[in-house]
């Protein structure tokens, strides 16, 4: 669900950039104290998995693409801050090396998928874990994909409202929410099911290796 360059107005990506810089600074605090010789290899391995998942993209109507995220898995294993930073790095590399997403859209993509996706994962897992851990992991992955999708669809769908010519002709992304919401959410509802199953498999493996409590 990467948003490419040229689809977002400055009224969108400039405030998002300010928010993202603040969020990256917050996430980076005490980072050095978290990283050690046991955490770094695991973080690198799971970040590479998220990177690979994000490169398997299905073009969708409405100016975006469909793919699994992996951000919920990163969050469950490493926490919100590390997951947000790691996924921001994933998005940056995908934009620079493969043209998946863009640099002006990076803050919006990072906030929607990296930060909101991670925060949603934390909240969903804490809420559902007392009921059943496996169901909590499945729901966490699916909900994080859907919340990220909602935010991406909103960012695209409001462009005709906030950036247009006097006659109403959109200057950037031309389609409204009536198109972007179903175009993004319907396929990602299915993609999220596959990601949920993968997340549970990796979660169980991580538990068996005592990577998590």
Q: Please tell me the predicted confidence (pLDDT) of residue 209.
A: 83
For the chain, the straight-line distance linking the first and the last C-alpha, in angstroms and rounded, comes to 32
Q: Which tens digit of pLDDT belongs to each residue from 120-146?
A: 999 999 999 999 999 999 999 999 999
Query: How confident is the prediction for the chain on average, in pLDDT?
Result: 89
Domains in the chain and their CATH numbers? 10-208 (1.10.1760.20)
- In this predicted structure, the answer to whether residue 26 has a pLDDT above a threshold of 90 is yes
Q: What is the pLDDT of residue 69?
A: 79
Angle at 79 between CA 142 and CA 186, to 5 degrees: 15
Average pLDDT over residues 159-183: 91
Q: Where are the beta strands (DSSP E) in 1-78?
A: 58-60, 64-66
3-state secondary structure 52-68: HHHHCCEEECCCEEECC
Q: What is the pTM of this model?
A: 0.90
Q: pLDDT tens digits for 57-99?
A: 666 655 556 667 789 999 999 999 999 999 999 999 888 887 7
pLDDT value of residue 211 = 76
Name the DSSP letter for residue 19: H
pLDDT tier at 33, thresholds 50, 70, 90: confident
């Amino acid at each position: 669900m990467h948003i490419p360059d040229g689809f977002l107005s400055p009224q969108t990506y400039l405030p998002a950039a300010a928010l993202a810089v603040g969020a990256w600074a917050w996430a980076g605090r005490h980072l050095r104290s978290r990283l050690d010789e046991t955490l770094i290899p695991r973080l690198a391995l799971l970040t590479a998995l998220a990177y690979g998942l994000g490169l398997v993209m299905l073009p969708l109507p409405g100016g975006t693409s469909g793919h699994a995220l992996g951000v919920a898995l990163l969050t469950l294993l490493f926490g919100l801050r590390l997951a947000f930073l790691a996924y921001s790095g994933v998005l940056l590399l995908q934009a620079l090396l493969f043209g998946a997403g863009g640099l002006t859209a990076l803050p919006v993509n990072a906030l929607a998928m990296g930060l909101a996706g991670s925060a949603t994962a934390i909240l969903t897992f804490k809420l559902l874990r007392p009921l059943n851990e496996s169901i909590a992991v499945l729901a966490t992955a699916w909900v994080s994909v859907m919340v990220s999708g909602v935010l991406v669809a909103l960012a695209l769908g409001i462009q005709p409202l906030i950036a247009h010519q006097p006659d109403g002709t959109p200057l950037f992304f031309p389609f409204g929410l009536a198109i972007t919401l179903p175009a993004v959410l319907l396929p990602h509802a299915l993609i999220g099911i596959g990601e949920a199953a993968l997340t549970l498999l990796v979660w169980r493996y991580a538990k068996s290796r005592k990577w998590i409590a």
